[in-house]
Amino acid sequence: MRTPFITTLIFLVFISSGQSHCFDAPAWVGMPRAYVCERADYTPVIDGQLNDAIWKNATWTEEFLDIRGHSHPVPRHRTTCAMRWDDEYFYIAAKLIEPHVQATLTERDAVIYHDNDFEVFIDPDGDNHLYYELEINALNTVWDLLLIRPYRDGGPAVNAWDIQGLKTAVHIDGTLNDAGDRDRGWTVEIAIPWKVLAECAGRPSPPEAGHIWRVNFSRVQWRHHIVDGKYEKLEDPATGRSFPEDNWVWSPQGLIAMHCPEKWGEVLFVDETFDGNAERTMNSNREHVSINSARALMDIYYAQRQWFEDHQNFATTIAELEAEYGVLMRKWQTRVETLDGEIFVLPYRWTLDMQAHDNRFTATLCTPRGLMTVDETGRLHRDPLNPPKECSCLKTIH
């Protein structure tokens, strides 16, 4: 069932005051998408054909959207994914409708998105740092890399990092690089070893049932035409260069940038006790609540980055930021009328503090579900990652 998850926990990303900034903040595109990942009954054959029962019985994601969100054009071709897991691997399957399947790159760690491709992004502990990226084209050529930080925070990407033991396969429903016919599409099957993901996971890998990892998927699609029986990228007459690629994703980012991990989807791993009700299981999960609480701090991060661009230092108080950009974390706050006018207050037992000095800052949100911090590097830390059962967080929001 592809019904989107609905939660009463709402987060509003920072909306600028209209000033122009080089540093772009993502637009509000709704809550990140969510998926309940069930254990695999047995190990699938990684051949790209997706004939195994674990895929036939799997829940497939919603169709991909434009990376900027629902308000932008619907992708020309359909893309969906499914996920499963066991003690050894994280399994991913993708179906890409494509009338002209094509690929040229054959060398591992080439810049695969110069071809049409399928991409995987994984941030195990959801702190926006030390996350993984995998790209694959229709020739089954891969590019795997480790990101120390997002590019917005200085990166870098570690191209020398490899997923040892990675299994991938592609199946083409049609013919590859044949411009004389029409294809139906291609399918991708991936098995990523947990022992490799454990290197920078910051938490158990394989995950425990009930844990949530941040994951997103992207499809890069170039516009093309056929010249002398061969595919060529369409050029923009105004620039003489290829038109920009289309970026279609599972969980929209709010801008053309995949490297905003706080916008990625949530994948909840479950075991055989899962009752089949994905929406209830996700919305009652304590870590899901914690993740969405912490994400509220990204309001302050984006406001501080724009403040730094304007003032060459960070604001020392939240009041300074709100005076310039408006009330931050507003959707979290209750509007109260007082004799002195309208004020906004955070939920009961929430406290927000910020410390800043020149080129550094830390904002800290203390809630019944734990302690959350964000700093100038964009690292979004939660302690604990998975709140204990006695946590009263669910009572605070329902």
Residue 201 lies in a domain: yes
Same domain membership, residue 225 and residue 307: no
- DSSP per-residue string spanning 109-150: TS-GGGSSEEEEEEETT-SSSSEEEEEE-TT--EEEEEESS-
pLDDT at 114 exceeding the cut of 70 = yes
Q: Are 168 and 46 in contact (CB under 8 A)?
A: yes
Q: What is the pTM of this model?
A: 0.91
CA distances to 17, 66, 78, 195, 302 from 101, in Å: 44, 20, 14, 33, 39
- Cβ contacts of residue 159 below 8 Å, gap of 6+? 109, 143, 145
Whose CA is closest to 355, among 316, 300, 302, 306?
316
Residues 379 and 307 in one domain: yes
Which pLDDT band holds residue 22 (cuts at 50, 70, 90)? low
Q: How many domains does the chain have?
A: 2
Asked which of 13-22, 40-49, 202-211, 380-389 is least confident by mean pLDDT, the reply is 13-22
Q: Which residue has the higher pLDDT, 339 or 1?
A: 339
Structural domain including 184 reads: 34-283
Label residue 328 by pLDDT band (50, 70, 90).
confident
The DSSP call for residue 186 is: E
Residue that finishes a domain, picked among 226, 259, 283 = 283
Whether residue 78 sits in one domain with residue 198: yes
5 part of a folded domain? no
Residue 393 in this model has a pLDDT that exceeds 50: no
Last residue of some domain: 226, 256, 283?
283
Distance of CA 139 to the CA centre of its chain: 25
Cα angle for residues 289, 294, 296 (degrees, 5° grid): 105
Region for 124 from its dihedrals, namely left if φ exceeds 0, alpha if ψ lies in -120 to 50, beta otherwise: alpha
Q: pLDDT category, 397, cuts 50, 70, 90?
A: very low
CATH of the domain at 88: 2.60.40.1190
DSSP 1-54: --PPP--S---------S---SSPPPPP--SPPEEEEEEPSSPPP-SSS--SHH
137-152: average pLDDT: 98
Q: Residue 361: how many CB atoms within 10 A of its CB?
A: 22
User: 260 with 335, same domain?
Assistant: no
150 and 271 belong to one structural domain: yes
Domain identity same for 244 and 343 = no
Whether the per-residue pLDDT at 130 is higher than 50: the answer is: yes
Instruction: Pick the closest to residue 323 from 307, 338, 339 (CA basis).
Output: 307
Element (H, E) at 280: helix 278-283
With a pLDDT cut of 70, the percent of the chain lying above it is 89
In a domain, 93, yes or no: yes
Q: In this predicted structure, what is the pLDDT of residue 21?
A: 54
Give pLDDT tens digits for 240-250: 999 999 999 99
Q: What tokens were used for 308? A: 């730094």
Q: Are residues 172 and 91 in the same domain?
A: yes
* Model pLDDT for residues 217-239, shown as the tens digit of each residue: 999 999 999 999 999 999 999 99
Same domain, 197 and 237: yes
Q: How many C-alpha atoms does 259 have within 13 Å on its Cβ side? A: 22
Shared-domain flag, residues 303 and 349: yes
- End residue of a domain, out of 257, 283, 309: 283
Rounded to 5°, the CA angle 265-271-275 comes to 90
Examine residue 87 and state whether it is found in any structural domain, yes or no. Answer: yes
Sequence-separated (6 or more) residues with CB below 8 Å from residue 235: 241, 242, 243
Cβ-proximal residues to 280 (8 Å cutoff; 6+ apart), any chain = none
Q: Is residue 204 part of a domain?
A: yes
In a domain, 6, yes or no: no
Clarify whether residues 228 and 312 are in a common domain. Answer: no
Is 240 found in the same domain as 147? yes
- Residue 288, in any domain of the structure: no
Would you give the end-to-end CA distance of the chain in angstroms? 25
Supply the DSSP symbol for 316: S
Q: With bands split at pLDDT 50, 70 and 90, how would you rate the model's confidence at 389?
A: low
Q: Is 275 found in the same domain as 331?
A: no
359 with 313: CB under 8 angstroms? yes
Q: Is 223 helix (H, G, I), strand (E, B) or coil?
A: coil
Count Cβ atoms within 10 A of the Cβ of residue 376 and give its class: 0-12 exposed, 13-18 middle, 19 or more buried: middle
Looking at the domain assignment, is residue 335 inside a domain?
Answer: yes
